[in-house]
Each structure stands twice: as structure tokens, then as C-alpha cells.
Amino acid sequence: MGIKVLFLYPNTFGMNMIPQAMALFSSLLKKEGHQVEIFDSTYYAVDFGLDSDGTQVDKLAVVPFNMEDRGIRIKDTSWSDDLIKQVERFKPDLIGLSTTEDMYELGLKFLDTIKDYKLKNKTPVIAGGVFPTFAPEIVIKEKLIDIVCVGEGENTLIELCKRIQNKDYNFDNLTNCWVKTIGPEYLKNRNIIKKNPISKPVDVNKNPIIDISLFEENRLYRPMGGKIYKMFPVETIRGCPYTCRFCNSPDQMALYNKETDGGYFRKKKMDLVSKELKHFKNDLGVEYNYFWADTFLAMNKKEFEEFCDMYSEIKIPFWFQTRPETINDYNMKKLKEVGLDRISFGVEHGNEKFRREVLDRRWSNDQIIEKLKIPHKYGINFSVNNITGFPKETKKLAFDTIELNRNIDSDNANIHTFVPFHGTPLRKMCEDLGYIKPETITKCIVSDPIMDMPQYPKHEIKGITKCFNLYVKFPKNRWSEIEKAEKDDEEGNKIFTQLSEEYLEKYMPAPNADPHGGIEDFIEVDKLDHCIPIPKKKRGISKSKNEDEMM
């Protein structure tokens, strides 16, 4: 008989896509005979972090949406009470915390809430995810965490559960893990940390279809273009061949290249992708597919043709993200024919020299502008992702990003504050420049700036992110007025509200408008465009009666 595994997934409202890794782990462990449950805080009022999608609404980056259109709203119960009840009912033999850096501190609150159960039953706790992988020295110090998974967790979890099932609590040689050495008796000696080597990358073609049943029905929905769809994540590629310095992919590649003889970048066979997509469509009623590869079009011609042939049988709209240099007339036309609805392009910064030398992005502005004329030729909506607040950046350089976006006819543009996450090459630069301490834990990309740089102070970064879309769309003779709206005071916010209302009238199409043709081939969608802020309760965020008592 298998063991009981409880995954903890700290998350906030607005980060709505289900975690693909948790769904995969559940499928793997159930196949081994184990029982799996998850505590997912996405729809609880946790008084932590921000509503990510909702914040984008406030910054004029996405069309307003209302989760209550599908009956989805914040829970009116206490997350801590519900977590305790779940633990007491389920009685897990293993607790797994999966966390990103911005959600790590919330995850620690989860563990603290159930520490009595953990300590009484001597239940092992393993922490994994992006943050534990790149900051294991921070995570392993936590008293309630026994094991830190560094790298991929599929094989590690299977082996860990097998040992617990066999009452073998010596995890000293558990691959891909930092372990607090326990000696002959569980939790007896926690003064020694064993750092085990990383095994070869997992063969993604041997993984089963992800387990959607792990999640409550509400978690299967996500906003896209102002509407709410039943949407699942789909894996086609793991890793990324590019080396952008604000991303963790270079460090992920370096970690595996150093520790193993196998590279981290892998592609999934199209027949397996097809099997998963057909299951989602025919058995689970998916309405929209979300391909979450870092660079979806990192394919050769043969692989691309295989995808198009395969997806022609699915006929459900889909989204992906890629780089401008990966598209051309041929692949845009083909993808539109099989159901491509939207694309997100990573542009990041508008100054060519800065983009090349600091970010390791080497395409010219002229090339980007020309490439991004292609999607609209085939009725494909697209967004442009930008970042500001990089080390060595200035407000003047940020306006180069604004200028570039003014020359791109995107359906929406967004700008995030740069966050020096652990495991990104720019993190080391920020530490060397004294902008952040090695032990500092960062927050969400839609939070306030975490670094106070003399050449680009926090208030300037906040002003640019607040008014970015106004600068992009309004004529330059209005820029002095927009500059006043950057200020976070009564006058500045009043001007911002007035400009937002004008923005809506002049630059946002009517609902259900189809400006480029072909948008409604599969599912009628709104144009994903700029908008004015809407009250939080209008987008399905209402304060729980227990909210003031939480945390």
C-alpha cells in the first residue's frame, strides 16, 4: 500500500494557471500506488502578494475580466483553518512544498500553520521548485524543511515515497537533494547537511499525462482577452536554448551541464503531445490550450510541420510565447490555420546596446519592428512583454523601450519591474553592484521595485510602469501631462484616472471587435488590448469575512 502525499502550493489570486509540475507529480505518484492531495491557496484571501492579472488591469495592460462570470470568487473561509482540517483528515506521510521565490515566505507560513502535526508525526517535508533549486542554502536553514530538491523532482519524489513506504527514513543519498542528515533516528541530528549530486535530466517522453483531478474545478479557468476559459498548460519543450540574463534558463542549463553529461533542453514527441491534447479536449472539455514553453517556436522545420499536422485535428484556440526572430510569414499563416489565437513576444528593452550588453538579446529594433508586422497580416493578436528597472538602466533608457513599443502595433503591451530572482545571471550583477544582498528574497514581478538604484530610483521605475501604456499610445505633445500622472499622490492619480478614461475612448476597440480578421474562427474572444482600471470586486476579488484574521 502506498503513502499519502500532500503538496502545498502557495499562490495568490491572479496567478491562475494550474502548476504543471504538481499535476505531473500527482500522476507519477498515483501510478506508483500513492495517494495525493494538494492545498492550493490561489482562491484564498491570504493577505500576501498581489493579484497578478488584476494588477495588469490597473496598469492598462490587459482587458478587464470578471472571474465571477464562471462562478469563481475568493473563498470566504480561512486558509489556515482549511489547511489544518485537510492535514488532520488526510494525515499525510510526506509534505511537499513547491514554491517560487516570491511565494516562498507564504509557503513558510503554511508550514508553520501545520508544524504541530509535522513535529508530532515526524512527517518529512521536502521543498522544491525554482527557488529551492537556486537558493538551497537559504531553504535548507528552515527548521521545518528536511529536504531541498535541487533540479527536477520526478525521480526524486518516486524514490523518496518508496523509502517512506518501506519505513526507511535515511535520505542521505537521495539524488538531486540537499538533506539534513538524520543519523540512526529520524530528526535526531540536524547539524550536518548532505549535498547529493544531480542525476541526468528526466526523459520527458516517459512522463504520463498530467493529473488535472488534483485540482478543484475553479482552478481550471484563466482569463484571456477579457473572457474566462477552461485552460490547461501543455508541455512541448523543457528548458530554453537562449541565454537571456534576466531568466533562470542559463543557470538551469549550467547546473545540469556541470553536474551531468546530459543537457537540460529537451523536446516532447508530437504523438505524446497529441495524446494529451485529445484527452484534454475529449475527456475534460478544455476550451483553450496554453503552451508554456519559454520559446515555443524553438523548433526545426520538421518539428514545426509535425505540430501543425497534429494540431489540425484539435481545432481549439491556443496561446504561446516566443521571440520575434522565430516568426515568419509561413509559420504565422500555418499556425493561424490550425487555431493560433494569441502570442506573447519577449522584447524586454528598446535600447539595442543595452539589450545586447546587459540582457544578451542581440536583435536590432528594425528587425523586431518588421517581424512584428507579420501576426496581424494573418489575424493573430499579440502582446509585447517589456521590463524596466534593470541594473545599470536609467529612466532615459526606459524611454527607448517606450519608443520601440510606439513603433509596434501590438494588441497589448505590458511592462514589469525587473526582479533579481535567485538563479538568474543578473542576480549576481545586482549583488556585486550592492543593490541587493545575497540573502534577500525577492517579490512578484508586479510588486514595487525591490532595488533602490541611484541612477534609477524606485519612484521613477514605478512611474514608468504606471504610465507606460499612456506614453506608448498618446501623442508626444501629451507627455508632459503624462509625466504628472507618474506621481503617486492625489494630483498624479487624478490625472492618471482622467487620462485612462480618455485612453479607453480613443485607443480601445469596442467589445468583441475583430480588427484584424479571423479572430472568431474557433471561440469568440475580445481583443486583448489596453484598458482603464476597474474596481477589484468587479474582477471577482472581494474581501473575505475572515481576511482580517489571517496571517
Contacts for 47 with CB less than 8 Å, ≥ 6 apart: 547, 550, 551
Helix spans in 441-537 (H)? 458-473, 479-485, 490-507
Q: Which CATH class is domain 227-527?
A: alpha beta
For 284, list phi and psi in degrees, rounded to 5: -115, -5
Q: pLDDT grade, residue 540 (50/70/90)?
A: very low
The proportion of the chain whose per-residue pLDDT surpasses 90, expressed as a percent, equals 73
Alpha carbon distance 21, 218 (integer Å): 18
Which tops the pLDDT comparison, 187 or 454? 454
Q: pLDDT grade, residue 539 (50/70/90)?
A: very low
Alpha carbon distance 268, 217 (integer Å): 27
> Does the structure show a pLDDT above 70 at 46?
yes
Give me the amino acid identity at 268: K
**Sequence ranges of the chain with CATH classification 3.80.30.20:** 227-527
* pLDDT score for 225: 72
Burial 111-150 (b: 16+ CB within 10 A, else e): bebbeebbeeeebbbbbbbbbbbbbbebbbebebbbbbbb
Burial 475-506 (b: 16+ CB within 10 A, else e): eeeeeeebebbbbeeeebeebbeebbeebeee
Q: How far apart are the first and last CA of the chain?
A: 37
* pLDDT score for 192: 79
Is 67 within 8 Å of 476 (Cβ atoms)? no
Give the strand pairing for 381-388 and 340-348. parallel
The per-residue pLDDT for range 130-181, each reduced to its tens digit, is 999 999 999 999 999 999 999 999 999 999 999 999 999 989 899 999 999 7
Looking from the CA of 358 toward its CB, the CA atoms found within 13 Å total 23
Give the strand pairing for 227-234 and 221-224. antiparallel
Quick one: how far is CA 430 from the chain centroid? 22
Burial level of 366, CB count in 10 A (0-12/13-18/19+)? exposed
Determine the average pLDDT of the residues in 118-132.
96
> Does the structure show a pLDDT above 50 at 50?
no
**Sequence ranges of the chain with CATH classification 3.40.50.280:** 4-195
* pLDDT score for 445: 62
* pLDDT score for 532: 27
Is 74 within 8 Å of 17 (Cβ atoms)? no
CATH for 4-195, options being 3.40.250.10, 1.10.600.10, 3.30.70.120, 3.40.50.280: 3.40.50.280
Report the alpha-carbon angle 146-423-245, nearest 5.
170
Burial level of 231, CB count in 10 A (0-12/13-18/19+)? buried
Give the strand pairing for 177-180 and 147-149. antiparallel
> Does the structure show a pLDDT above 50 at 541?
no
